[in-house]
Amino acid sequence: MNTNPLRLRAARLLAGLALPAVVLVSLSLHASAQIADADAYVIVIREHKFTPDRLELPAGKKFKLIVRNLDATPEEFESVKLNREKVVPGGGEIVLFLGPLQPGSYDFFGEFHAETAKGEIIVK
């Protein structure tokens, strides 16, 4: 039997990588399925204001929040209660995955224009 040490080492390396790769693909598919199950809601930033400035969402469900900035300047979506803080570039958008949330009020604001960019998510 002709055993090449380099081939044996390569085979062991590939075998060692196979299981982690399968686990990563499995986790990826599971995460994608969870994301696909999430309801999507859109908030638009226009003239330094959030529209709608109030969203009512069901308790106990995961959801995807898309924040689109139609202004030319950046704005920040920030919420202490949601533990989120993310800059939305001018003309861009961000996606946040949230929940499931308990019933209550979750306020958010735009840090760059806090006097006008305000909103609230009501979870029932």
Distances 70 to 10, 16, 29, 94, 98 between C-alpha atoms, Å: 53, 48, 33, 12, 23
DSSP secondary-structure letter at 100? -
- H/E element, 36: helix 5-37
| pLDDT higher than threshold 90 for residue 72 | yes
What does the mean pLDDT of the chain come to?
Answer: 85
33: confidence class by pLDDT, cuts 50, 70, 90: very low
| pLDDT higher than threshold 90 for residue 16 | no
Mean pLDDT calculated for residue range 83-94: 98
First to last CA, the chain: 71
| pLDDT higher than threshold 60 for residue 106 | yes
Which of 65, 44, 55 minimizes the C-alpha distance to 124? Answer: 55
Largest CA distance in the chain: 79
Percent of the chain with pLDDT over 90: 69
DSSP secondary-structure letter at 113? G
Please state whether the predicted TM-score (pTM) of the whole model is above 0.85: no
- H/E element, 15: helix 5-37
CATH 3.40.190.10 fits 38-123, yes or no: no
